[in-house]
Chain A
Amino acid sequence: MSDELKPDELLDKVDHSPASGSWMDTTVQIRPGIFSYAAKPESLETLSAPNPRQWNPLDDDWKLPENWQEIIHNGIKERLEKFRTFKIFMDVCVRCGACADKCHFFLGTGDPLNMPVLRAELLRSVYRNDFTTAGKILSKIPGGEKLGGGRPMTVEVLKQWWYYFFQCTECRRCSVFCPYGIDTAEITIMGRELLNLLGLNIDWIATPVSNCYQTGNHLGIQPHAFKDMLDFFTEDIEEITGVNVEPQFNVKGADILFITPSGDVFADPGTYTCQGYMILFKYLKDKYDLNVTWSTYASEGGNFGFFTSHETMKRLNAKMYAEAKRLGVKWILGGECGHMWRVINQYMDTMNGPADFLEEPVNPITGTKFENAKSTKMVHITEFTADLIKHGKLELDKSRNSNRVMTFHDSCNPARGMGLLDEPRYCIQNVCDNFFEMPENTIREQTFCCGSGAGLNAGENIELRMAGALPRANAVKYVHDKFGVNTLGTICAIDRAALSTLCEYWVPEVEVYGVHELVGNALILPGEKKRETDLRMEPLPGMEDDDE
């Protein structure tokens, strides 16, 4: 299959000149390596989603409901009324092309339908045909619909939607450059909602959603196994530091509820970031008597519902406040995750608030009021840690990270759906001496996606992911060559998995670290023994000889 495609072969394919002819006449060729497998019926059934059935995108027959066109038509109509974004974005694009070469999938695949404007036009063409005055008039004249750029909704169009709305990571980079702020991610979100009305999800999204709903997290890890995993980390950390950092679970009356994506608990190298959190919480417990609890019920910060529909997002997100209320904590602390934070920052309070049973978050150790979170009552862990460091509340030994030459990848959602840019940088620079930025056009609000976000981190679409990863990898390679960067820092659980694959493929000399893994390495626990290794059990700088 396509995982045999070598980086060089992939690079040979990069061509940004579109073919001649009109995109409207193209028919979709669904290609292995580019698409993700269809959702299993069982996963759709958990949340009573429409049309659960076994189907295969490569088959002609997608087993659609009889009245599927009507469902789509009504679905569009409803969303035009419910979302001003959708309606305006359908109407005002002037096709100036400013967004065209901003998408990592276009840059990596050269497929013109991956230009954000055309991704949106896939839906807009149907909108023009069915919902605008001009379109309705033109469609009555033979050949007229073409003039106005309208298309009737056909199975062919539907397949194009499916193929290309699952080739968008909802990263919003295009939206930064659009003169009207047209956010193709928002259009993709609508497109995926519509597809879900017909049961056209992908399995890599639907199954985590179903697991998360029932078991509390994407991987379907049951409560005892979740605890086992953290116990296992506790043993590792004790071996390294000599300190028992045992976490607490589901504790009523704790000060703070901590929620992080389950990827941190179950997938390397996120597990090391998780150990970093555990070390930090132990430190704060011992030094300042701060009580942080984990939850097995709300054991997922990530929210693949966001990649399904607004309703599903809300159903999964509801657990955070429900659990905080049940446990009676003061406020919630959130771990390092990208889309989780877009949901918390832009949706959670509106959907599931008001959180009037929580207190306005104050850092009990420094007295800092987190003004920017006073309604949602959820604080990002890098905001929290940056505040602790600033007030000199953490004892840090930077030298333990001195073999790390860092750069930092801004994850799309914290960058463009929140603006969390300097907090993680501040943390990194206080636990590590060597830090170099990637080029300006590839960081902060202009950051490039890892290519695997929004539920596309599946194994079967690896060609798409590695192509989409190209712009990010290219910038990483640049700082690797120029400054000898060997570590890519990030604050996103999907990134920790996706960037590792990306680096392995494109820049094998670079490793991926979560910010709190570095914090965990540097933080000096009260009563710890002399550490010889970092959390990965690799010798610390200067300790290499002691090995063997």
Chain B
Amino acid sequence: MKQKYMLPLTGVFLLFLLAYAGVEGAGMQWFFGIVVPYAAVLAFLAGFVYRVMGWASSAVPFRIPTTCGQQKSLPWIKQNRIDNPDTTAGVFVRMVLEIFLFRSLFRNTKAAFNRNEKNKLTYSWEIFLWLGALAFHYSFLTVLLRHLRFFLNPVPACIKVVEYFDGIIQVGLPIVMLSGFLLLGAALFLLARRIFDEKVSYISLAADYFPLFLIIGIAVTGIFMRYFTKVDILGVKTFTMGLATFHPVIPEGVGGLFYAHIFMVSILFAYIPVSKLMHMGGIFLSPTRNMANNTRMKRHINPWNYDVDIHTYEQYEDHFRDKMIDAGLPVDKKE
């Protein structure tokens, strides 16, 4: 059990040390700051496109949405247009709700069984996974958007808006950005679930802990630089603008912690296409959610449909003709 998370934990720690020592000890800023990020972004883009194209190249032979409400039926029966859509518009709303609000996860229940004279199985609403996942994903998104300020000059207004709201609770200097802490907290919650919830722990693989530790590592190093070691922001911006404009430079006075941060982010990006983190692409293509339940109204075409042998009526009648005639059943051929 334990080794399932000890290995990825050690792995992430080693990655951190590798970059930190590589910069502080061996002066390999160019490697961790320039080579690795470019390679990672390339791997991410190429890998992501490759995976999505791979899915898209598989056929969708049948229309098999999971229906979660009343179908379109007689005019006076109220259809659930979102959970059992028969139109593209309904599917669109269903997908938006899935992608932005994790609607299916919102339904989550927790089963419990009491062995007593009642022997009741009960199902209670289980909201925490939904809350945790939502907090995790939205803080991740916010952090990502905020980081765009390092790569864009001038900083677009929309990013300033994000920053404004993120820092709306003004405590201390530098202003505390909620998203970073929320990301860390939510990631720790998801991790705790994986370790302490018996069922989730049992189904988890080492590969499920790795991205969590990595993101925790990223969040911790980020928070450290912002609030404690106070990294040289101007130096960082020179560096990131260099990357963004393809004229990379290594600034003075930016230390190992920053390179460790960048390195872990690079690993995360490169890791996405070869892992379950591809779920961000897969959800868009999932046929049980993104198709309308209208197969009886509109014929769906299977691109690889092929003819099969069937037992025809003629064969059937040939086999049973005498018995059918005796029983008074109509037949096509009398003798």
Contact = CB atoms under 8 A, between A and B. Distances in A.
Contacts of A16: 111, 113, 199
Interface string A215-259: 010000011100110000000000000000000011110000000
B88 interface: no
B55 interface: yes
Interface stretch (B172-180, B255-263, B270-278): B270-278
Contacts of B62: 346-347, 350
Contact of B198 (A18, A296, A350, A371): A18
Contact of A149 (B59, B98, B120, B207): B207
A491 to B, nearest CB: 14
B123 A345 contact: no
A75 to B, nearest CB: 15
A109 to B, nearest CB: 12
A347 B68 CA distance: 18
Contacts, number: 319
A315 B308 contact: yes
A489 interface: no
Interface in B114-132: 115, 119-121, 123, 129
A183 B68 CA distance: 13
Given A21-B1, A112-B199, A91 B110 contact: no
Contacts of B207: 147-149
A378 B152 CA distance: 59
B83 interface: yes
B70 A186 contact: no
A18 B108 CA distance: 20
Contacts of A252: 330
Contacts of B119: 11, 474
Interface string B59-92: 1111110111111111111101001101000000
A88 B296 contact: no
B289 A181 contact: yes
Contacts of B26: none
Interface stretch (B163-171, B223-231, B309-317): B309-317
A82 B72 CA distance: 29
Interface stretch (B141-149, B233-241, B280-288): B280-288
Contacts of A373: 296-297
A323 B335 CA distance: 21
A422 B113 contact: no
A20 B1 contact: yes
Contacts of B324: 223-224, 296
A126 interface: no
Interface string A150-192: 0000000000000000000000100111111111001000000
Contacts of A422: 70, 73, 77-78
B279 interface: yes
Interface string A93-133: 11111101110000100001001011001000000000011
Contact of A180 (B120, B204, B279, B310): B279
B333 interface: no
A354 B285 contact: no
Interface in A438-472: 439, 441-442, 444-446, 470-471
B252 interface: no
B105 A98 contact: yes
Contacts of B67: 415-419, 445
B279 A101 contact: no
A98 B115 CA distance: 24
Contact of B64 (A85, A87, A371, A378): A85
Nearest to B79: A419
Interface string B86-113: 1000000000001000101101111101
Interface in A304-340: 310-311, 314-315, 318-319, 322-323, 326
A178 B68 CA distance: 12
B73 A423 contact: yes
Interface stretch (A383-391, A528-536, A538-546): A383-391
Given A16-B113, A91-B51, A94-B276, A387 B330 contact: no
A375 B298 contact: yes
A322 to B, nearest CB: 6
Contacts of B287: 84-85, 88, 181
Most buried by A among B1, B68, B304: B68
Most buried by A among B78, B119, B129, B286: B286
A213 interface: yes
Contact of B296 (A94, A132, A375, A470): A375
Contacts of A423: 73-74, 77
A540 to B, nearest CB: 30
A118 B203 contact: yes
A386 to B, nearest CB: 6
B327 A353 contact: no
A297 interface: yes
A390 B74 contact: yes
Contacts of A54: none
A141 interface: no
A34 interface: no
A308 B104 CA distance: 29
Contacts of A66: none
B78 A179 contact: no
Interface string A334-366: 000000000011110111011000000000000
A12 B274 contact: no
B288 A85 contact: yes
Nearest to B66: A175
B199 A95 contact: no
B83 A251 contact: no
A172 B121 contact: no
A178 B283 CA distance: 11
A54 to B, nearest CB: 25
A332 to B, nearest CB: 11
A102 B179 CA distance: 33
A183 B274 contact: no
A91 B282 contact: yes
Interface string B164-206: 0000000000000000000000000000010001111011111
A421 interface: yes
Contacts of B316: 216, 297
A5 interface: no
Given A118-B203, A179-B283, A181-B289, A326 B310 contact: no
Given A176-B104, A179-B283, A474-B119, A94 B197 contact: no
A419 B276 contact: no
B203 A95 contact: yes
Contacts of A411: none
Contacts of A81: 57-59
B293 interface: yes
A288 interface: no
Contacts of A83: 58-61
7 contacts: A16-B113, A17-B199, A91-B282, A97-B203, A149-B205, A252-B330, A387-B74
Q: Sorted from nearest, which 4 A-B pairs have the closest CB atoms?
A: A419-B71, A92-B282, A224-B327, A181-B288
